[in-house]
Amino acid sequence: MEFFATTIIPATVADLQRRLTIGELPRWCASIEKVLGDATSSGEIYCVWGTFHTCREELRQGVRFSLPGCPNALQWTVTTGHQPNPRHTVIHLTINRTEQDRDFIDSIQKFVDAWKAGLEAHW
């Protein structure tokens, strides 16, 4: 399943890569309550679904975060510079299921919406 949100913030790829770190995740997303550990490219967070090991990767157009221990293989990217609207910043989240419980789907949509709100409020 895929979930998207788009926002217009004055962000370059370099900005996203510099500012979207594991240690700063609660600033950008209210659904991530606490960082329990941060080793730059990996760490541990406490979020709406519990405690998870988290990985961070820099991508050509932004950053990817993943929860490798999540039974749904949840991951999300925050990227910019894509056509047809290169000024847009896109939050894109995926899980490895084609169907899921309605409550979980709602919590994922709220997570994506929280990213959009956090970027718009704090950028």
Question: What is the pLDDT averaged over residues 42-46?
Answer: 98
pLDDT band, residue 30 (cuts 50/70/90) = very high
| Vertex 71 angle, CA 67 and 75, to 5° | 35
The rounded percent of the chain whose pLDDT value lies above 90 is 93
From the number of C-beta atoms within 10 Å of its C-beta (0-12, 13-18, 19+), residue 29 rates as: buried
- State the average pLDDT over residues 32-61: 97
Q: Where are the alpha helices (DSSP H) in the chain?
A: 13-19, 25-28, 102-122
Pull the structure tokens for residue 120. 């718009």
Residue 121 phi, psi (nearest 5): -80, -35
Residue type, 55: C
Residue 39: predicted pLDDT: 94
Q: Residue 84 pLDDT more than 90?
A: no
Q: What's the mean pLDDT when you consider all of the chain? A: 96
The Cα–Cα gap between 66 and 7 comes to 21
| Residue 101 neighbours by CB distance under 10 Å | 9
Which pLDDT score is estimated for 76?
98
pTM for the predicted model, two decimal places: 0.95
pLDDT, residue 36, reads 98
Give the pLDDT confidence score for residue 108 in this predicted structure.
98
User: pLDDT over 70 for what percent of the chain?
Assistant: 100
* pLDDT tier at 50, thresholds 50, 70, 90: very high
